[in-house]
Amino acid sequence: MLALYQSLLRLYPGPYRDQFAKEMITVFRDVEADARQKGNFATAKFYLREISGLLRGAIAEHARRILGGHLTFPLLSRRFTMRSEFRFPKSTAFLMIVILAGVVLAIQRADAIRASVHDVNPPVVTIQPTHLTFLPTMALMFLAVYIAGAVGWIVLFALRRSGVHRLSEMSSTPERP
């Protein structure tokens, strides 16, 4: 099956094949070994998924090369395609939620301040110090986000170091079963 996979890799454009072929073959061997341990059904499912993915990927790469790199192909795209385009970090959604929460909190505090000040002439009045709870709340929120970011960075830094450490212990030639 590996020979068929290697021959199907020739369907990809040359530069793409030069860049990713060795890695694709190594991953194919590793996952094939895992699928064989799970039984015949898992192995057949793996082969079907890999061959269809390889054909779909080759068509997508040729189309991307001909039509331009910034076009998307909804029928050909998959969740795990190898592209070098910019992607938003996963933390973006969390940060957007934090910003939205801050805006909602600011609106609520503004409504509370407006409700505490009665309509009087002149319209400009001094706000009592007891109504200024927004700044400490925002400071506390920023501190919490800063601490969460620092903890996340420390965890990612530790994982990167342990990952590099594991990679340095690996042999450069794949072992065949």
Q: How many CA atoms lie within 13 A of 142 on its CB side?
A: 6
Quote the DSSP letter at residue 78: -
Tell whether 82 is covered by a domain: no
Residue 60, Cβ density class (10 Å: 0-12 exposed, 13-18 middle, ≥19 buried): buried
Residue 169 pLDDT > 90, yes or no?
A: no
| 0.95 surpassed by pTM | no
First to last CA, the chain: 14
> 44 with 102, same domain?
no
Q: What is the mean pLDDT of residues 142-166?
A: 79
Domain range holding 145?
Answer: 91-169
> 98 with 55, same domain?
no
Residue 79 pLDDT > 60, yes or no?
A: no
> 119 with 165, same domain?
yes
Tell whether 32 is covered by a domain: yes
> 96 with 63, same domain?
no
Last residue of a domain, one of 13, 34, 67: 67
- What tokens appear for 62 in the block? 């040729």
> 49 with 11, same domain?
yes
> 117 with 52, same domain?
no
Tell whether 84 is covered by a domain: no
> 165 with 95, same domain?
yes
- Residue 143: which pLDDT band, with cuts at 50, 70 and 90? very high
- CA 51/CA 38 separation, integer angstroms: 19
> 95 with 61, same domain?
no
- Residue 76: which pLDDT band, with cuts at 50, 70 and 90? very low
pLDDT tens digit sequence for 85-139 = 556 677 777 888 889 989 989 988 888 887 777 665 555 666 665 655 777 788 8
Tell whether 150 is covered by a domain: yes
Tell whether 72 is covered by a domain: no
Tell whether 131 is covered by a domain: yes
Tell whether 156 is covered by a domain: yes
- What tokens appear for 16 in the block? 């793409």
Q: How many separate domains does the chain show?
A: 2
Tell whether 78 is covered by a domain: no
